[in-house]
Amino acid sequence: IEQLLISRQEQSPEQEELMPITKAAAFLDLAVPTVYSKVCRKEIPVNKRGKRLYFYRSELTEWIKSGRKKTADEIREGAVQHLTTGNKKTKAF
């Protein structure tokens, strides 16, 4: 248990790395003006201190993961599950 806790503590600082906009743009493989426009449209998680923008690596990673598109098999599986779970409501006329 002790080894597990130590390894988790060692991983935490890396995940909570605070990055300026240039480093965040490089991490996202985007141009700096593109990151500024995403911040302006409130599309990306950001922390602002004065005139400077900062980004947490973990928040950017979660933001990227939230945009995941389902595969055709996952969509098909969800449709089959929806049809078989009894979500059939009858309308009373």
Domain boundaries, the chain: 15-67
pTM of the model: 0.63
* Residue 55 confidence (pLDDT) above 70: yes
H/E/C letters for each residue in 35-69? HHHHHHCCCCCCEEECCEEEEEHHHHHHHHHHCCC
| pLDDT score of 60 | 93
Q: Return all residues near 39 (Cβ < 8 A) that are at least 6 apart.
A: 46, 53
CA dihedral of residues 76, 79, 80, 84 (deg, nearest 10): 170
Q: What SS3 state is found at 74? A: helix
Amino acid occupying residue 36: Y
Least confident range of 37-41, 55-59, 61-65, 84-88: 84-88
CATH 1.10.10 applies to domain 15-67: yes
